[in-house]
């Protein structure tokens, strides 16, 4: 299968409906660009993949170089569409030389499609195979005219006559509920024959790939229509679609995690990204957000905690804790309102209201409420190193760079600016003076009787 199919992904469009400076295909679902998601699937099927670019091509190319750089020019080929002369999805296919005789064409804005269902389309043998959706609300899609209206309802082998783009459709045609999902398989020879014959005499003055269907039909070419599922084949044109598509992807990621043993309270409130890995037995409470390349193993993440690109092993976190990138937590308890950043904590308790940034804290250490690592001097970030069995009392500021050796005590309310040697108690706070009788002197007797 992998060697007999070429794939073209269309990603040159302006994506104006996104109302964004970011190219449409770079908008992300669960942390991954739409184009990256669809390309991952394409790579399961083909060793000859062509991506057509134009609008903001450089940004898209940068993403591709970053994520798929090793494949460029061998498996992956980038093309620039001549949008000035040949705008439209038909124009996008001009001049593309595929290696294989069968060509799968995918719109770049279909982030949910999976290679397993694409395989089913590719297994068909007609000269043209196209994907159809049957939608309650067909708004935005090209309507597909079938020669037998009943076959659409029963979803049996539909005979496709032509595709009418929404902007060109009559009010009657707009009622049609069978629509073009935007995935096609063509014989290479069909594209060579019909792409040059497309016209732009339509509402958008574009060369529509979809017009190949009617042209080929008129010349007796066999066209196979296949009904597919919206949960895989929906197109994303605007940010409403983007959020709906992300919901679908989130549903898949949550189910996959739960199937692997993660317990979720109110799963619909939990956000996880594609690169997050769960191992062992984990519990995620409601409202948890875990992003980036994070690993969570045998841990309990309590309500409304956020974890970004961090490792959490055999620990409990939150509620309402925030692990910023590059945190590494093992056998540790992190309580509410604790923020970590580039912090390595092994066997530590930090129960309440702390900022622990650019630090290492060793086994058996206790971080009291309100402890702050003062890691930034306005110019540079500095490290705080805390050894084993260090007791840091509440409301201490640790002014970095600073080192608290193992087996030390830091008195509550201290501002620590110097290293603390092993075995010491450090106290760095103003002395308390009790001025007896001061209240009455200040307010007088009347106030005292109130």
Report the interface residues with Ca ion, using CB under 5 A: 109, 235, 237
Of 24 and 403, CB closest to ligand UD1: 24
Give, in order, the Cα–Cα distances in Å from 378 to each of 158, 275, 287, 395, 400: 68, 34, 34, 22, 12
The helix (run of H) or strand (run of E) holding residue 358 is strand 349-361
Two structure tokens written together for 55: 């609008």
Of 27 and 322, CB closest to ligand UD1: 27
152 binds, among Ca ion, ligand UD1, none (CB under 5 to 8 A by kind): none
Of 238 and 279, CB closest to ligand UD1: 238
Rounded to an integer, what distance in angstroms lies between the CA atom of residue 53 and that of residue 30?
23
Q: Is 351 helix (H, G, I), strand (E, B) or coil?
A: strand
The helix (run of H) or strand (run of E) holding residue 253 is helix 239-259
Least distance (Å) between residue 23 CB and ligand UD1: 8
The 190-209 contact track toward ligand UD1, x by CB under 6 A, reads ------------------xx
Nearest to 119 by CA among 134, 108, 104: 104
User: Which residue of the set 55, 304, 352, 382 is catalytic?
Assistant: 352
Output the residue with the shortest Cβ distance to ligand UD1: 142
Hey, how many other C-beta atoms are within 10 angstroms of the C-beta on 213? 25
Rounded to an integer, what distance in angstroms lies between the CA atom of residue 314 and that of residue 331?
5
Q: Contact with ligand UD1 (CB under 6 A): which of 163, 190, 223, 272?
A: 163
Rounded to an integer, what distance in angstroms lies between the CA atom of residue 402 and that of residue 407?
15
52 binds, among ligand UD1, Ca ion, none (CB under 5 to 8 A by kind): ligand UD1
Q: Name the phi and psi angles at 174, rounded to 5.
A: -65, -20
Q: Name the phi and psi angles at 253, rounded to 5.
A: -65, -40
Give, in order, the Cα–Cα distances in Å from 229 to each of 73, 134, 235, 248: 33, 8, 12, 12
Binding status of residue 178 toward ligand UD1 by CB under 6 A: no
352 is catalytic: yes
Of 112 and 359, CB closest to ligand UD1: 112
368 binds, among ligand UD1, Ca ion, none (CB under 5 to 8 A by kind): none
294 binds, among ligand UD1, Ca ion, none (CB under 5 to 8 A by kind): none
Of 208 and 278, CB closest to ligand UD1: 208
Of 94 and 100, CB closest to ligand UD1: 94
Binding status of residue 111 toward ligand UD1 by CB under 6 A: no
Q: Is 288 helix (H, G, I), strand (E, B) or coil?
A: coil
Q: Contact with ligand UD1 (CB under 6 A): which of 30, 130, 179, 221?
A: 179
Binding status of residue 227 toward ligand UD1 by CB under 6 A: no
Stretch that binds ligand UD1, among 67-75, 81-89, 301-309, 342-350 (CB under 6 A): 81-89
Of 109 and 339, CB closest to Ca ion: 109
Residue with the two structure tokens 């196209």: 130
Nearest to 345 by CA among 363, 321, 323, 367: 363
- The secondary structure of 24-72 as a DSSP string is GGG-EETTEEHHHHHHHHHHTT-S-EEEEE-TTHHHHHHHHHHHHGGGB
Stretch that binds ligand UD1, among 39-47, 86-94, 216-224, 336-344 (CB under 6 A): 86-94
Binding status of residue 122 toward ligand UD1 by CB under 6 A: no
Least distance (Å) between residue 193 CB and ligand UD1: 18
Q: Contact with ligand UD1 (CB under 6 A): which of 5, 7, 8, 11?
A: 11
Stretch that binds ligand UD1, among 38-46, 79-87, 269-277, 414-422 (CB under 6 A): 79-87
The 229-258 contact track toward ligand UD1, x by CB under 6 A, reads ------x-x---------------------
Least distance (Å) between residue 141 CB and Ca ion: 8
Least distance (Å) between residue 206 CB and ligand UD1: 6
Q: How many residues bind ligand UD1 (CB under 6 A)?
A: 28
In which region does residue 411 sit, left (phi positive, over 0), alpha (psi from -120 to 50) or beta (all else)? Answer: beta
Hey, how many other C-beta atoms are within 10 angstroms of the C-beta on 409? 17
Nearest to 305 by CA among 284, 319, 325: 319
- Residue 114 buriedness (CB in 10 A; 0-12 / 13-18 / 19+): middle
Of 87 and 335, CB closest to ligand UD1: 87
Stretch that binds ligand UD1, among 7-15, 252-260, 332-340, 363-371 (CB under 6 A): 7-15
What Rg, from alpha-carbon coordinates, does the chain have?
Answer: 31
Chain contacts with ligand UD1 (rule: CB under 6 A)? 10-13, 52, 81, 83, 87-89, 91-92, 107-109, 141-142, 163, 165, 179-182, 208-210, 235, 237
Residues noted as catalytic: 352
């Amino acid at each position: 299968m992998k060697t007999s199919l070429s794939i073209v992904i269309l990603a040159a469009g302006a994506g104006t409906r996104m109302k964004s400076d970011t190219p449409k295909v770079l908008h992300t679902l669960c942390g991954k660009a739409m184009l990256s998601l669809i390309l991952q699937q394409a790579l399961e099927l083909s060793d000859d993949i062509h991506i057509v670019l134009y609008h903001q091509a450089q940004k898209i190319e940068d993403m591709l170089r970053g994520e798929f750089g090793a494949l460029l020019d061998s498996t992956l080929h980038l093309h620039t569409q001549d949008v000035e002369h040949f705008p439209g999805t038909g124009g996008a296919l001009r001049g593309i030389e595929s290696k294989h005789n069968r060509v799968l064409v995918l719109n770049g804005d279909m982030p949910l499609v999976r290679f397993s269902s694409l395989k089913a389309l590719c297994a068909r043998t007609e000269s043209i195979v196209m994907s159809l959706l049957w939608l309650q609300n067909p708004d935005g899609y090209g309507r597909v005219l079938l020669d037998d209206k009943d076959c659409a309802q029963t979803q049996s082998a539909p005979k496709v006559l032509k595709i009418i783009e929404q902007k060109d459709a009559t009010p009657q045609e707009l009622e049609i509920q069978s629509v073009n999902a935007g995935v096609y398989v063509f014989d290479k020879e069909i594209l060579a024959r019909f792409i040059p014959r497309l016209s732009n005499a339509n509402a958008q003055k574009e060369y529509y790939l979809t017009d190949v269907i009617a042209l080929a039909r008129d010349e007796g070419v066999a066209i196979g229509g296949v009904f597919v599922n919206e949960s895989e084949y929906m197109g994303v044109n605007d940010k409403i679609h983007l959020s709906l598509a992300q919901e679908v992807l989130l549903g898949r990621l949550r189910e996959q995690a739960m199937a692997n043993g993660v317990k979720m309270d109110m799963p619909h409130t939990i956000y996880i990204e594609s690169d997050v890995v769960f191992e062992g037995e984990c519990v995620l409470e409601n409202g948890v957000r875990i992003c980036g390349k994070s690993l969570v193993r045998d841990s309990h993440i309590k309500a409304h905690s956020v974890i970004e690109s961090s490792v959490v092993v055999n620990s409990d976190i939150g509620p309402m804790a925030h692990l910023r990138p590059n945190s590494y937590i093992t056998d540790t308890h992190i309580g509410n309102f604790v923020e970590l950043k580039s912090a390595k904590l092994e066997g530590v308790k930090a129960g309440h209201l702390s900022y622990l940034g650019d630090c290492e804290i060793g086994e058996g250490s206790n971080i009291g409420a309100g402890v702050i690592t003062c890691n930034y001097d306005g110019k540079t970030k500095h490290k705080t190193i805390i050894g084993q069995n260090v007791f840091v009392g509440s409301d201490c500021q640790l002014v970095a760079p600073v080192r608290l050796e193992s087996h030390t005590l830091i008195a509550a309310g201290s501002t620590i600016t110097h290293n603390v040697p092993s075995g010491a108690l450090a106290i760095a706070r103003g002395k308390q003076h009790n001025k007896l009788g001061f209240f009455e002197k200040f307010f007088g007797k009347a106030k005292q009787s109130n």
